Amino acid sequence: MSADEAISGASSQAGFSTKLLGAAGLGLGLGLIGICYGWSTGEKGPFLGWLWGLSFWLSIGIGMLMLTLLFRVFNSQWTPIVRRQLEHCLAAFPYLAGCFAPLLLVVWFGGDQDGILWHWVNPDNEIPGGHTVEHDVLHQKKSGYLSVLFFSIRSIGYFALFCGLSHWMRKVSFSQDRDGESSWTRLGHNIAAGGVPALALCLTFAAFDWFMSLEYQWFSTMYGVWFFAGSMRAALATTIILCFYLSTRGDLRGLYNRAHQYDLACLSLAFTVFWAYISFSQYFLIYNANIPEETFWYIIREINPNTGEKSGWWLVGLALVFGHFFFSFLYLLFYKNKVDPPRILFIVAWILAFHLLDLYWNIIPGRDVNPEAVAGFDARAVLGDHLIWGIASLIGIGGLCGWAILKSYRESDCEIIPVRDPRIKDSINYHE
């Protein structure tokens, strides 16, 4: 690369970084305005929108962290080129932790609002049936776990683990680039071996705390696995897009090849099947048991409880069944769809869009107490102010994460690939 090309590339990166930071400022600003509005009025929509936007980018980060650990544990020969790009993406975790802070503040200081995000925070909040949270038998049984202090400690602990593992995976890789010591490889393997089960536990309980407890009366032991499957799908899709972009731009040209893309696409197919298996198993077990404390979660996603008619959420559910599984599964069965750039880019963008819809379907529907309604509550509509606030949060948090990743590329002082990794030659020469 000539000096002029290098200067031009650096200038282009700086310009793009500025745009990302501008998008982050705009989106985060609007999202925080929404939170302030919801705090003062008791409206739940801004909180739900913020959580939805945050969960999308957080799930991608968690999936990338898990992939990084797994690549280290199994000493995969083909992965070093891909792994380096994941390591740069892990730089976003401290900023994601900062984006979670407004929700913790609401938990601690907004509990007097009936429209609080997590209903169980305020014992005086009404629940469907004319009772309060304090007198709910199901809450009494879970009160030791669902307490403000314990919830906050767990949430801080989750992000501490995410940030800690990300820091060490980056440190091991970048340090080896500088001094070439083989001991970094062994250290990375050992950290990853302990990090995989720790991360699995953390993401499982995080899904319980942040998403499942939105309707604290509902419970599913498979919910954490659903979140894991979706996170891995989203992370793989994002990785394919990033590697293809870097290859097209010239940074990974001749390094990232068809074989790498094929393996990533195969993993996407595998996790598509896994996501469907977990989602169906959860639904089937709840349907078969027919316990009111479990079935209501699906009922409010299928029918309007006050009219008995199919709701808009029913159509969203069908879209997930046929779009997020059947179409993706059948599409990824064919070899050309895995390796042809336009085809693979189409399907990974499709997967990301439906992953976002899947999170929307899981987070947004719920019950707002209304004593005048037939069922004693109103189910939230598919379209509402939560969508507007959510889009603002998506743009803001996404822009911030993108800026953090570009910052990592600029400041790491390392090559685009781990040049001193013992398996780098195998990765470069990898073929089908």
Indicate the range of 3-17, 143-157, 333-347 predicted with least confidence: 3-17
How far is 276 from 124, CA to CA, in rounded Å?
39
Mean pLDDT throughout 352-365?
Answer: 96
- Of 186, 158, 162, 188, the closest CA to residue 173 belongs to 188
69: confidence class by pLDDT, cuts 50, 70, 90: very high
Per-residue 3-state assignment (H helix, E strand, C coil) for the chain: CCHHHHHHHHHHHHHHHHHHHHHHHHHHHHHHHHHHHHHHHCCCHHHHHHHHHHHHHHHHHHHHHHHHHHHHHCCCCCCHHHHHHHHHHHHHHHHHHHHHHHHHHHHHHCCCCCCCCCHHHCCCCEECCCEEHHHCHHHHHHCCCCCHHHHHHHHHHHHHHHHHHHHHHHHHHHHHHHHCCCHHHHHHHHHHHHHHHHHHHHHHHHHHHHCHHHHCCCCCCCHHHHHHHHHHHHHHHHHHHHHHHHHHHCCCCCCCCHHHHHHHHHHHHHHHHHHHHHHHHHHHHHHHHCCHHHHHHHHCCCECCCCCCECHHHHHHHHHHHHHHHHHHHHHCCHHHHHCHHHHHHHHHHHHHHHHHHHHHHHCCCEEECCCCCCCEEECCCCCHHHHHHHHHHHHHHHHHHHHHHHHHHHCCCCCCCCCCCCHHHHHCCCC
- Is it the case that residue 10 has pLDDT exceeding 70? no
- Of 336, 334, 332, 361, the closest CA to residue 347 belongs to 332
Residues 6+ positions from 57 with CB-CB distance below 8 Å: 92, 96, 394, 397, 398, 401
Q: What is the per-residue pLDDT for 8?
A: 44
257 domain-assigned: yes
How far is 72 from 189, CA to CA, in rounded Å?
5
11 domain-assigned: no
Query: 116-128, pLDDT tens digit by residue?
Result: 788 888 887 887 7
Q: What is the per-residue pLDDT for 6?
A: 41
Q: What is the DSSP string of 219-233?
A: --TTHHHHHHHHHHH
> How is residue 281 written in tokens?
């198993």
| Residue-range definition of the domain harbouring residue 129 | 24-428
Helices 45-73 and 223-249 sit at what angle, rounded to 10 degrees?
Answer: 70
Q: What is the per-residue pLDDT for 132?
A: 83
**Would you call 369 helix, strand, or coil by DSSP?**
strand
Q: Positive or negative CA dihedral for 148, 400, 350, 344?
A: negative
Q: What are phi and psi of 230, to 5 degrees?
A: -65, -40
215 domain-assigned: yes
- Cα of first residue to Cα of last residue in the chain, in angstroms, is 30
How far is 149 from 67, CA to CA, in rounded Å?
32
163 domain-assigned: yes
- Is it the case that residue 115 has pLDDT exceeding 80? no
Longest Cα separation, the chain: 73
Indicate the range of 6-20, 132-146, 306-320 predicted with least confidence: 6-20
> How is residue 220 written in tokens?
């599913």
4 domain-assigned: no
12: confidence class by pLDDT, cuts 50, 70, 90: low
- Of 344, 427, 384, 418, the closest CA to residue 86 belongs to 418
180: left (phi over 0), alpha (psi -120 to 50) or beta: left
- Is it the case that residue 11 has pLDDT exceeding 60? no
The structural domain count of the chain equals 1
For residue 157, the surrounding DSSP H or E stretch is: helix 148-179
Query: 245-297, pLDDT tens digit by residue?
Result: 999 988 888 899 899 999 999 999 999 999 999 999 999 999 998 888 888 89
- Is it the case that residue 7 has pLDDT exceeding 70? no
168 domain-assigned: yes
HSE (side-chain half, CA atoms, 13 Å) at 376: 6
9 domain-assigned: no
**Would you call 42 helix, strand, or coil by DSSP?**
coil
